[in-house]
Amino acid sequence: MSQNEPLRVTALRAVITDFLAARYKDKLEAVKEDANDPDAADLKRETLRQRFIPSIWLGNAASRIKGIQLVTHVLKATHPSPKIYGATSLYVRPETLTEQNVVGSHLLNTDFRDDVTGDAAVLDVYDLLTRKYQGLTILELARSNDPDLSAALCDDPELAASWMRSFAKIEDPRCSRPTSHTLAKQLYWQTGDDVQANESYHLLSPLYASSLAHRVYETLQDDRFSEAAKAARDARKANTFSERPVHEYPQMAVQQLGGTKPQNISQLNSERRGNNCLLASLPPVWRSTDLKPLLNTDSMFHRYSRRPEVRQAVKALLAFLKTDPTRNVATRSKRAAWVNLLIDEFLQFTAELRSLEPGWSQTPQCKLTESECRWLDDDGVKATDAELDRAPPTDIPERISAAFANWLNAQLRPPLPMGDPEFLEWRNTMMEEIKAQEREGMYVE
């Protein structure tokens, strides 16, 4: 009596044929008619049809599967160079890792996403292997040598078994001994006295934990853009109850892996469109006991000018420019260094004021301009905007950059004849820095 369940074999075969039919349809739509050679398109279609015959495609897939590897830690995320292919990415199930007192892959336990790295042209094979039937993937069934999958793949049991063995090897390491590479930047710091003992070193740059990074990405996406998260934020604004807490991730940066071809790094990286979220890893902003709102003053630059670092930088820049230095690259570099220091101090100064309780700029004692209020107390001004049903301006960074340029010209004039060219230089430099920090999430929610 047959050991197969006919209905289950039929269902598994349908999973495979439906996948191939969808792939064939996508490829077929890309075939264009050639007016100079009417038969060319028909030939391409027939070639495609032959490629997607299940027995042909599956046999080809079994031979191509060696081009990719199932991983949890991806080496190419550190450096995408093809030279790094000789080094080792790793597949380590999180539940086998030692418990640590820090966040790491071990926290994923059995609930994690496998990743795949290698030849991007072979990712279609992995796409098939991730298709599920009754809660199990084709890959899991191949690993367990499922007899019904064998019958669904091919009528020849030996050939089907060979294909399943090939598919199951996607998890196997590509070399018997793990190796690294110079481009992997895996730096070790000596912590012990015995220079020959492995335990005497601490790895400063571990392999990129792709499965963990993907969990972080999915969590951030849910906390930032899901309907439930949006409803929770709306409830907070309306001061009503919500069972779901609101999670904020200030100053988050996004690192792009793989450029325009994120699939060259790994499958999960492709699903993230190359986005790798980096949470802020910064020391806390020191809030002095005398940090107070800017009240009863018409410009934030009065207090900014009194910062010791600002006074020193202005004094040094003025002394340098008064020497009438030769107009060359060295002069421009020195001048840019002082201006950049002033900009850094300005952004630090405003960051400190942004840490104050929102709403201080909306008190009668605040005499600052609208642009300065919005720059320093954005949340407080937004609350007033909502009450008055008014639309906020969109050029606040430009206004602040212009204000900084005017302030700096005033510090250098007299004795220097500061004019429009200098104004444009300071303004544009400040705008570039603000835009750079906006891209890193410094001034956007």
Q: Does 414 sit behind a cis peptide bond, omega within 30 degrees of 0 on the bond before it?
A: yes
> What average pLDDT does this structure show over 300-323?
91
Q: 44-91, pLDDT tens digit by residue?
A: 888 888 888 888 999 898 888 888 888 888 888 887 776 666 677 888
Tokens coding 414? 């007299």
pLDDT for residue 84: 67
Please, are residues 108 and 211 in contact by the beta-carbon 8 Å criterion?
A: yes
Does the structure show a pLDDT above 50 at 443? no
CA angle 367, 372, 377 (to 5 degrees): 95
Tokens 């820090």 -> residue: 102
Q: Which of 317-321, 405-409, 414-418 has the lowest mean pLDDT?
A: 414-418
Q: 89-145, pLDDT tens digit by residue?
A: 888 888 888 888 888 888 888 888 888 888 888 888 888 888 888 888 888 898 888
H, E, C per residue of 69-123: EEECEECCCCCCCHHHHHCCCECCCHHHCCCCCCCCHHHHCCCCCCEEEECHHHH
> If pLDDT is split at 50, 70 and 90, which confidence band does 444 have?
very low
Q: 349-371, pLDDT tens digit by residue?
A: 998 898 888 999 999 999 999 99
Burial track 14-47 (b if 16+ CB lie within 10 A, e otherwise): ebbeebbeebbeeeeeeeeeeeeeeeeeeebeee
Reported in sequence order, the residue ranges of 148-200 that DSSP labels E, i.e. its strands, are 188-190
Instruction: Parse the chain into domains and list their residue ranges.
Output: 6-191+199-203, 212-278, 301-439
Q: Please tell me whether residue 408 adopts helix, strand or coil conformation.
A: helix
Q: 214-231, pLDDT tens digit by residue?
A: 999 999 999 989 999 999
102/55 Cα distance (integer angstroms): 48
Q: 259-311, pLDDT tens digit by residue?
A: 888 888 888 998 899 999 888 887 766 655 567 899 999 999 999 999 999 99
- By CB atoms closer than 10 A (0-12, 13-18, 19+), residue 373 is buried
> What average pLDDT does this structure show over 309-336?
89
Q: 148-207, pLDDT tens digit by residue?
A: 898 888 888 899 899 999 888 887 776 677 777 778 788 889 998 898 898 899 888 788
Tokens coding 134? 């009754």
pLDDT for residue 119: 81
**Average pLDDT taken over every residue of the chain:** 86
> What average pLDDT does this structure show over 8-17?
90
